[in-house]
Amino acid sequence: MASIPEYYAGKSVLITGATGFMGKVLVEKLLRSCPDVKALYILVRPKAGQSMKQRVSDMMKCKLFDRVREENPDFHQKIVPISSELTQPGLSISAADVERLTGCVNIVFHCAATIRFDEPLKHALQLNVIATQQLLSLAQQMHHLEAFIHISTAYANCNRRHIDEIIYPPPVEPKKLIESVEWMDDGIVRDITPRLIGDRPNTYTYTKALAECVVQQEQDKLNVGIIRPSIVGASWQEPFPGWIDNFNGPSGVFIAAGKGILRTMRANNDAVADLIPVDVVINLTLAAGWYTAVHRPKTALVYNCTTGGINPFHWGEIEHHVMSSFKRNPLEQAFRRPNANITSNYLINQYWILVSHKFPAFIYDLFLRLCGQKPQMMRIFNRLHKAIHLLEYFSSQDWEWNSENMSMLMGQLSPEDRKTFNFDVRQLNWPEYIENYCIGTKKYVLNEDMSDIPAARQHLRKLRNIRYTFNTLLVVFIWRVFIARSQMARNIWYFVVSLCFKFLSYFRASSTLTN
Ligand SMILES: CCCCCCCCCCCCCCCCCCCC(=O)SCCNC(=O)CCNC(=O)[C@H](O)C(C)(C)COP(=O)(O)OP(=O)(O)OC[C@H]1O[C@@H](n2cnc3c(N)ncnc32)[C@H](O)[C@@H]1OP(=O)(O)O
Ligand SMILES: NC(=O)C1=CN([C@@H]2O[C@H](COP(=O)(O)OP(=O)(O)OC[C@H]3O[C@@H](n4cnc5c(N)ncnc54)[C@H](OP(=O)(O)O)[C@@H]3O)[C@@H](O)[C@H]2O)C=CC1
């Protein structure tokens, strides 16, 4: 049987979402580990004043592609950008491009989606469900299609505690919802959204569940596979440890904690933190593409791509390792020394928000105002609180995913493929992974230089001295205001001091006697 690189040799692959976090890693891995792949057609839209071509050219200059660039400087010749806006009818692909794609594509990887937790339902439906439907229609016209791999999320069914590798009945028939929402104005859709999403936390997980159903409806006509990653984090091994390029999921939390801004968050210390490295997800995705095309399973196989059931790690442990990692490798210009704690108690969290977020922000903004500058810290905290609030649902609960298909797939690979497309998370060493993840946020998200670490440490020492000075001044202030002015407070104070003194004298005397 063909190995994975042999299978992809000479194949034309269509990828949506190639400019995104996971899409980029998929493109890089395919080019590096399957060097004989024929062409990668990537659907890209112009964005933020940049043309499609400019965006793709910028993407290929990214550090992520350094390894493949070294091994094959002409790698970019295999990438064929196709202009496409997925929210438009026909995905706004030109007739000529449709003809080209239907004539040559062998495998489709559908990664594009809106992953925002606050996306209005209409837009989330348009991109995550309707675009998936349109892509499936396009796939049906492809004369040489061998596999269609859809990237979903392990949280599509987060309203359940135990999640099997099956497609659950959708909360509503997608076609009916699409028809109803079409004629409603945005205000009405916004009003009925909470009723529609029911026990799911956001429109993202809701529309991803609907998308799975849309994919399932085509399983008789197409050879489909569904990948359900949990919380996708920085790379574990490839192309280099710790690669990450965004603030999504835990990355933003880690950075905010490393900068000393975030001091408290609601999370369950003992709940499993189901993080999965991006390279693991991509290796599994490529292997699933190979398996779907070569073995042609009768129904769509779902792969829960998770770590919790195999190599569990908990939020409390993550907190510990993130904090110690940022103390060893501090971020530049931290607001305060990194010292964040998670708690599952609402009131304790609110207390620390007041004391450790709002109060310092108020003081800092006051300082900025006095220096004639614009206050900014309270605004930053308000945005941070909004983001954290949206994540807390996922950090406060436990889920149990069955990942038998992941194990089954591993068993199907040759020893060589198992090494090249490693998704065996039993080998993952969490403390080492978290250390590389934190360093990755510093290097690749914040573009900070590792050579600046001594200066960053010096800055943390300065912050520690400021804290000591501030605390001393606070004690003196309290003394002046509350103790020096009241006879009773003074009496209590003298009583406490004399008690301490007596204890000290007693211990000194007893230690002299024993000597
Ligand atoms: C106490 C610390 C100890 C650490 C241990 C404990 C850690 C607990 C961590 C818990 C994490 C749990 C994560 C669970 C996630 C489960 C997800 C399910 C998996 C998936 O399938 S999907 C992937 C997840 N999706 C997301 O994460 C998207 C979430 N983001 C959003 O929905 C929006 O970005 C958000 C938060 C609503 C903000 O919207 P908005 O205000 O409009 O801002 P923008 O998105 O436009 O961004 C503006 C600007 O800010 C940067 N940004 C975004 N998010 C963050 C952040 N969290 N922290 C800091 N900065 C952030 C963003 O990059 C933009 O920058 P620009 O420079 O581009 O302007
Ligand atoms: N990140 C995570 O933690 C997890 C992600 N997933 C799933 O993995 C997949 C990829 O996620 P991720 O890479 O993190 O997401 P990103 O947000 O990084 O990437 C999304 C991609 O979709 C493209 N896209 C969005 N809207 C449009 C549009 N209207 N037309 C054309 N392209 C569009 C984006 O293009 P552009 O650059 O033009 O915006 C981008 O390439 C998604 O399906 C997501 O649900 C699942 C579990 C966890």
CA dist 363 and 226 (Å) reads 50
In 171-277, alpha helices (H): 174-183, 186-197, 203-216, 250-258
Enter the ipTM: 0.93
Residue 343, in any domain of the structure: no
Residue nearest to atom 34 of ligand 2 (CA): 17
List, for residues 11-42, the tens digit of each pLDDT value: 999 999 999 999 999 999 999 999 999 999 99
Q: How many domains in the chain?
A: 2
Find the 153 Cα to ligand 2 centroid distance in Å: 11
Q: Within this chain, do residues 403 and 486 fall inside the same structural domain, yes or no?
A: no
Residue 476, in any domain of the structure: yes
How buried is residue 220: exposed, middle or buried, by Cβ count under 10 Å (0-12/13-18/19+)? exposed
Q: Within this chain, do residues 175 and 115 fall inside the same structural domain, yes or no?
A: yes
Residue 432, in any domain of the structure: no
Find the 484 Cα to ligand 1 centroid distance in Å: 48
Q: Within this chain, do residues 82 and 165 fall inside the same structural domain, yes or no?
A: yes
Whose atoms come closest to the Cα of 250: which ligand?
Answer: 1
CA dist 344 and 231 (Å) reads 20
Q: Within this chain, do residues 18 and 104 fall inside the same structural domain, yes or no?
A: yes
List, for residues 134-164, the tens digit of each pLDDT value: 999 999 999 999 999 999 999 999 999 999 9
Residue nearest to atom 28 of ligand 1 (CA): 116
Residue 79, in any domain of the structure: yes
Find the 328 Cα to ligand 1 centroid distance in Å: 24
List, for residues 463-496, the tens digit of each pLDDT value: 999 989 988 898 888 877 877 778 887 888 788 8
Find the 210 Cα to ligand 1 centroid distance in Å: 23
Domain that includes residue 494, residue range: 455-514
Q: Within this chain, do residues 135 and 84 fall inside the same structural domain, yes or no?
A: yes
CA dist 236 and 29 (Å) reads 13
Amino acid letter, residue 55 = R
Whose atoms come closest to the Cα of 152: which ligand?
Answer: 2
Contact 378, 365 (CB under 8 A): yes
Question: pLDDT value at position 510?
Answer: 73
3-state secondary structure of 109: strand
CATH number of the domain enclosing 24: 3.40.50.720
Place 503 in a pLDDT band, splitting at 50, 70 and 90.
confident
For residue 194, what are its two tokens? 């909470």
- Helix, strand, coil fractions of the chain, as percent rounded to 5: 55, 10, 30
Residue 190, in any domain of the structure: yes
List, for residues 331-378, the tens digit of each pLDDT value: 999 999 999 999 999 999 999 999 999 999 999 999 999 999 999 999
Backbone angles phi, psi at 109, to 5 degrees: -115, 115
Q: Within this chain, do residues 143 and 226 fall inside the same structural domain, yes or no?
A: yes
Q: Within this chain, do residues 120 and 58 fall inside the same structural domain, yes or no?
A: yes
Find the 23 Cα to ligand 2 centroid distance in Å: 8
Whose atoms come closest to the Cα of 228: which ligand?
Answer: 2
Place 512 in a pLDDT band, splitting at 50, 70 and 90.
low
Residue 324, in any domain of the structure: no
Q: In this structure, how many other beta carbons lie within 10 angstroms of the beta carbon of residue 187?
A: 8
Q: Within this chain, do residues 418 and 490 fall inside the same structural domain, yes or no?
A: no
Whose atoms come closest to the Cα of 155: which ligand?
Answer: 1
Q: Within this chain, do residues 406 and 505 fall inside the same structural domain, yes or no?
A: no
Residue 333, in any domain of the structure: no
Q: Within this chain, do residues 469 and 419 fall inside the same structural domain, yes or no?
A: no
Residue 474, in any domain of the structure: yes
**Which residues have CB under 6 Å of ligand 1?**
115-118, 153, 155, 231, 247-250, 252-253, 256-257, 262, 265, 267, 315, 318-319, 322, 340, 342, 383, 387, 390-391, 394-395
Q: Within this chain, do residues 407 and 510 fall inside the same structural domain, yes or no?
A: no
Q: Within this chain, do residues 151 and 205 fall inside the same structural domain, yes or no?
A: yes
